[in-house]
Amino acid sequence: MNTAIGVIATGSYLPDTVVGNAEVGEAAGVTAEWIERKTGIRRRHRAAPHEATSDLAARAALRALEQAGLTADEISYIVVATSTPDHPQPATAAIVTDLIGARRAAAFDVNSVCSGFMFALTAADRMLRADAVDPERPAGQGPYALVIGADVYSRILDPADRKSAILFGDGAGAVVLGPVPAGTGGITTSLTTRGDQHRLISVPAGGSRRPASADTLAEGAHWFTMDGRGVRGFVHENLPGAIQALLVRAGVPGRAVRHFVPHQANGVMLAEVWPALGLDTARMHLALAHHGNTGAASVPITLDVVHRRGLFAEGDLTVLSAFGGGMSVGSALFRWAPTRHARPARIHTGSLVPEAATREPALAGAR
């Protein structure tokens, strides 16, 4: 039996409300031009008051299932990567199973902040590989997993903090993993966590160390905080090594990679670090101008945009990579597999970004 596991479908969801640079810039005390020049971001999406992370995740999941031609009951595992869960408990993934009608799936959350999707992808891949060798499983009947990245950062941002409020948007992206033909798929991952630098990104209050109280609310300790300069330094020091470690583990030279889909944190920072990654012949896909940094959702949203534009060819070597709080870095390499339905499925109008996945003129070095 073929036990190669790969991406067989993608989906994404971006809420209807679009917020431009002028609006977030006014609250943060900066201009729209300054935001675009510093980040490459022009606009971002905001969840409606009635929408929580699970709602966004479920919509992205259903679009991925539609493209795969699968029902929710055919999914064995649902892994949701998020650092903005609906509640401290239960897991947001459990709520997603209810929303999409996945009655047979085991579900759990992963919180590695913006790297979460890569950690979730690794977990799901390993579980499916184990299940795929089950001699009692009929050929062609899975197993399948839904891996979802979803975040609603608008609920934890201080509008006056120009280091963070200008960057983040809300959204969700999903992939369906399953058996793929020999010579494709074959996910190799590299995961690291530098806990000694965990203070670079945090939400100080609301957990067991500093439970919510009148004092923490007055202090503003429930807002997302980030040492922007420290994060930039971390990325420059750690992302190139993580990519090289991935390539060495896979036994693949950098020149063989065709596509690079990074965490959409800051376009200018990505352009700066790009020459050090050793992926000179690859195309770096950026869609952040249109949806900003969507946390754990940014890699799968961009992957969905690129896929639906028909930019992947069967067998293309593709690298995904993300970095986030903790501080963590996660990367994956695989050969693109033929998807179940290559045609664009019915998707939310905000999910398809017309100019996405092309070189951003303002960002020298992006491919």
- Give the CA-trace dihedral at 60, 161, 357, 281, to 10 degrees: -120
- Among residues 322, 247, 67, the alpha carbon closest in space to that of 174 is found at 67
- Among residues 224, 180, 182, the alpha carbon closest in space to that of 203 is found at 224
Q: What 3-state DSSP class applies to 209? A: coil
- Inter-residue contact 314 to 182 (CB < 8 Å): no
The one catalytic residue among 21, 238, 266, 293: 293
CA-to-CA separations, 222 to 58, 159, 161, 163, 353, in angstroms, rounded: 26, 13, 13, 16, 32
The one catalytic residue among 114, 238, 266, 285: 114
Please say if 87 is a catalytic residue. Answer: no
Please say if 114 is a catalytic residue. Answer: yes
Q: Helices 53-68 and 298-308 meet at what angle, rounded to 10?
A: 30
- Inter-residue contact 290 to 298 (CB < 8 Å): no
- Among residues 335, 310, 341, 332, the alpha carbon closest in space to that of 6 is found at 335
What count of other Cβ atoms lies within 10 Å of the Cβ of residue 35? Answer: 24
- Among residues 76, 221, 45, 5, the alpha carbon closest in space to that of 150 is found at 45
For 139, residues 6+ apart whose C-beta sits below 8 A from its C-beta are 1
- Inter-residue contact 216 to 222 (CB < 8 Å): yes
Please say if 341 is a catalytic residue. Answer: no
DSSP percent split of the chain into helix, strand, coil, nearest 5 = 35, 25, 40
Distance between CA atoms of 136 and 263, rounded to whole angstroms? 39
Distance between CA atoms of 129 and 143, rounded to whole angstroms? 9
The one catalytic residue among 45, 263, 285, 291: 263
CA-to-CA separations, 88 to 83, 157, 229, 357, in angstroms, rounded: 10, 18, 30, 35
Q: Catalytic residues, which ones?
A: 114, 263, 293
